[in-house]
Chains A and B, each alone.
Chain A
């Protein structure tokens, strides 16, 4: 690992100032430390934001919940408010990583974790995300687990977070130090011709919390399909939440550079389409790569089956 300076953030103002000057924020470290050891991330300065007191889960005035960015994944997954009112969030968290990693990883850091594309993680290989302009070997190479939606000729990486998929379905809002907010979807960005940027955040944009809107009235489900039963990233995952007034909210994971809100499927369902028709509408623009065409079928089946399960049809 390359040498770096380490310090602890005294307060939010100091953290923002340091971030603007190029310091990288360290929270749980489960992704950043790993990438630093691989040489993928080479920060000169780490600012530990783990002791800023951002570890509370509180109810908001409108009946929603504000989750501190430093809350550990394991703590949020078993928090009574989350388990009772936002089951899809709890299920998504428990579908990710291992017990040890969930005890370390934080909610803010989870949203900012980097892709697990093998070329991104291997500094001996080109990668437009890690080394802009160097190329994307994944397009012709190992891409079975990579994107089918929204990718570009520069990058076919997927976002690995399960939590982000659930938050995208629910329409969570990310709070930054200083008061600015970023809605989900909207935090993550498609690769276009600049895949080096995963999100819309700028240096110094420190996530301090995630706000969940008031709970929806219907059942929720997170379902994850992967190559083994546990401790693996999603091939395709789905977060679904039935909203009594407004139909159903759907997001897919493992299919794109962003957690993929299923706008087309939701609209089709509101217009009276069948589950299969809605799934087909969502996947009409899918552009599978040579070895991941199975994900289109998988996503379609996952959409249909989850909708059937949630509506008992």
Chain B
């Protein structure tokens, strides 16, 4: 099925099976492996991307239903303040959840999310970190909020 997407500013016209998720399309077809596959069930947030400016979990998004969408992945950020803040605050250990954390935080801030630690924890509850770097993640987001 034909599909048109604008991904990180570039137009892509693709022929995809309806079963293909946006996450698999990004990773397997386009080589954009920054978005991670964690649970593949919408529970961990490692696959978080922006679609038309809103954060979503790409693992539960059938690519065909996003025809025409503007998608931004971690590869589409360039020296974003959140990226610098994550480094500054040592907001990761293994780094696997980090692209999803950062994209989710971009979405959280775009939604008007504030810097109160409680609000950040609630707003970021869709992103898990198995290393438990939450304290520093909250601090990094709080600095940018």
Contact = CB atoms under 8 A, between A and B. Distances in A.
A85 B134 CA distance: 36
B32 interface: no
B54 A33 contact: no
A167 B43 CA distance: 26
B42 interface: yes
A104 B57 contact: yes
Contact of B65 (A34, A48, A230): A48
Given A99-B111, A101-B57, A103-B107, A34 B42 contact: yes
Interface in B10-33: 17-19, 21
A6 B107 contact: no
Contact of A100 (B1, B19, B56, B64): B56
A104 B57 CA distance: 8
A50 B65 contact: yes
Interface range on chain A (Cβ under 8 Å from partner):
20 to 34
B61 A104 contact: yes
A4 B62 CA distance: 12
B89 interface: no
B34 interface: no
A34 B43 CA distance: 10
Contacts of A74: 54, 111
A74 B110 CA distance: 13
A100 B57 contact: yes
Interface string A1-41: 10111100000000000000000001001100110010000
B55 A99 contact: yes
B55 A103 contact: yes
Interface in A197-234: 229-231
Given A6-B18, A230-B125, A100 B62 contact: no
B60 interface: yes
B60 A6 contact: no
Nearest to A75: B54
Contacts of B99: none
Contact of B62 (A6, A101, A103, A231): A6
B65 A100 contact: no
A56 interface: no
A248 interface: no
With most chain A CB atoms within 10 A of its CB, the pick from B21, B41, B48, B56 is: B56
A6 B104 contact: no
A28 B45 CA distance: 16
Contact of B60 (A4, A46, A104): A104
B96 interface: no
A99 B60 contact: no
A272 B106 CA distance: 52
Nearest to A36: B19
Contacts of A50: 65
A34 B123 CA distance: 22
B70 interface: no
A1 B104 contact: no
A100 B55 contact: yes
Nearest to A48: B65
B6 interface: no
A209 B86 CA distance: 42
B18 A101 contact: no
A268 interface: no
B56 A231 contact: no
Contacts of A104: 56-57, 60-61
Contact of A1 (B19, B42, B125): B19
B48 A100 contact: yes
Contact of A99 (B40, B43, B104): B104
Interface string B1-12: 100000000000
Contacts of A26: 62, 65
A37 B108 contact: no
Interface of A: 1, 3-6, 26, 29-30, 33-34, 37, 46, 48, 50, 74, 97-101, 103-104, 229-231
7 contacts: A3-B19, A6-B1, A6-B62, A34-B41, A34-B42, A104-B57, A104-B61
The 4 closest A-B pairs by CB, nearest first: A98-B126, A6-B18, A230-B125, A231-B125
